[in-house]
Amino acid sequence: LALAPRNVFINLANKQDFYEVLGVSRTASQKDIKKAYYQLAKKYHPDTNPDDPEAKEKFAKLAEAYEVLSDEVKRKQYDTYGAAGFDPTRAGAGQQQYYRAGGSNIDPEELFRKIFGEFSGGMGFGNIHNMFDQRPEFVMELTFTEAAKGANKELSVNIDDTCPRCDGRGNEPGTKVSQCQYCNGTGMEAINTGPFMMRTTCRRCGGKGSIINTHCALCRGSGQTRKRQTVNVPVPAGVENGQTVRMSVGSKEILITFRVQRSPVFRRNGADIHSDVFISIAQAILGGTATAQGLHETISMIPQSCQADQVIRLQGKGIRRMNSYSYGDHYVHIKIRVPKKLTRRQRSLLQSYAEEETDVQGTVNGVTPSAGQD
């Protein structure tokens, strides 16, 4: 979605530093940052705070902080320059894209849905609050093109899975387990707390109701073994940097977070892409063709009388929107390259052209103004 820039100012307990907003240290890992964001976003989500008029602003501030700190490039810029050093309007040909704190193009609800919607499986807040502790998380590097078009990638993972020797039971095959005498096989024990009796998980068998006499030789009774596996990951077209998906590996589920490399050609804004094409003065005036790399095909068209920084919109030539059949647009920014050196003939021709111009403000070096000029 292309959203208009908005100015956001929220006072989260007077903490405007992005690290303080999320409650993490400056050395926090990406996993810690994501976990902190999720817990706070869940706490301040407008749907769970219908009577709190400030919840929406708090939720937006969390999204703003996470959008910067979850991107290593933006995070480095923030650590170096602070919030005042970010300005997306400074992005141009050959420049880095900056992020302006307080002028974000992000939609807090869309960010929350993007980061967690794909792997929440429709679960409510109460069912997925411990997902980061329960599932191992892996990082997959993607090129810009792989993220935009989708790809099939292989990922090597070390994962704890059901022991193949004991099938997760923990005892050596062919041996028996004994009923726990402490809880009589119920897995629960009763504790006398004075006037009350409280039932809790059995401390001896851990709630299993049985005691292993001979532990499995492979997993030593844990029922789990660590395996290194190579899994094929179908990367969906349109995935964005920092987005996380869940995937089944055997009987387990893992989380995969994508890290998308920056493109030397394209700049991305949601499903839209932007690129630059450099043309000569003659091409700008007379029109013609200039090859510009597109995401899906090569573009070669230059209309007459192109202006500097003119933008050509190629509808539907951008990135496919996730969970949709629609595509964004490709915006080609025209850049006119002015020659630093001219031949004598080129200079003479330009001077002759300048002598005929009538809409010049000021003067042109080496040219005598015509009678019609000021």
- pLDDT, tens only, 222-267: 888 888 888 899 999 999 988 888 888 877 788 898 999 999 999 9
Higher-scoring residue by pLDDT: 160, 148: 148
Residues with Cβ within 8 Å of residue 371, at least 6 apart in sequence: none
pLDDT at 345: 94
pLDDT band at 9, cuts 50/70/90?
very low
The pLDDT score that the predictor gives to residue 309 is 83
Q: Tens digits of per-residue pLDDT, 336-352? A: 999 999 999 999 998 88
pLDDT at 216: 92
pLDDT, greater one: 88 or 201: 201
Residue 361 pLDDT > 60: yes
Every domain range in the chain assigned CATH 2.60.260.20: 267-354
Residues comprising the chain, all counted? 374
**Lowest model confidence (mean pLDDT) among 47-51, 280-284, 370-374:** 370-374
Averaged pLDDT of the chain: 79
**CA–centroid distance for 52 within its chain:** 29
Reported as a pLDDT band with limits 50, 70 and 90, residue 323 is confident
Quote the percentage of the chain above a pLDDT of 90.
24
pLDDT band, very low/low/confident/very high, at 128 (cuts 50, 70, 90): very low
User: What value does the mean pLDDT take over residues 211-228?
Assistant: 88
Query: In the predicted model, is pLDDT for residue 123 greater than 70?
Result: no
Q: Pinpoint the residues of the chain covered by CATH 1.10.287.110.
A: 18-134
Answer left, alpha or beta for residue 12, where phi above 0 means left and psi between -120 and 50 means alpha: beta
pLDDT at 11: 37
Q: Over 50: is that where the pLDDT of 15 sits?
A: no
Backbone angles phi, psi at 102, to 5 degrees: 90, -5
| Residue 114 CB partners (closer than 8 Å, separation 6+) | 240, 243
Residue 271 and residue 280 in contact, taking contact as beta carbons nearer than 8 Å: no
CA 291 vs CA 267, 278, 295, 299, 309: distances in Å: 18, 9, 13, 6, 17
Strand (E) positions, the chain? 137-142, 151-162, 177-179, 188-192, 197-201, 210-212, 224-235, 244-249, 252-260, 267-269, 272-279, 288-293, 298-302, 311-314, 330-336
Q: Which residues of 346-359 are buried (b: 16+ CB within 10 A; e: fewer)?
A: eeeebeeebeeeee
pLDDT tens digit sequence for 83-120:
665 544 444 433 333 333 344 455 666 666 666 554 44
DSSP H helices in the chain: 18-22, 30-44, 55-69, 72-81, 108-120, 125-128, 131-134, 144-149, 281-286, 344-356
Quick check: 124 pLDDT over 60?
no
The dihedral formed by the CA atoms of 119, 124, 129 and 131, expressed in degrees to the nearest 10: -30
Beta-strand pair 330-336/272-279: parallel
Q: What percent of the chain has pLDDT over 70?
A: 79
Least confident segment among 17-31, 130-144, 157-171, 329-343: 130-144
Measure the CA–CA gap between 309 and 31, rounded to whole angstroms.
40
Q: Which CATH architecture has domain 267-354?
A: Sandwich (2.60)
* pLDDT value for 204: 84
Higher pLDDT pick, 318 / 2: 318
- Could you give the angle at the alpha carbon of 137 between the alpha carbons of 163 and 130, nearest 5°? 90
Q: Quote the pLDDT of residue 141.
A: 94
Taking CA 340 as the corner, what is the angle to CA 94 and CA 349, rounded to the nearest 5 degrees?
130
18-134 homologous superfamily: DnaJ domain (1.10.287.110)
13 pLDDT higher than 90:
no
Q: Is residue 369 scored above 70 in pLDDT? A: no
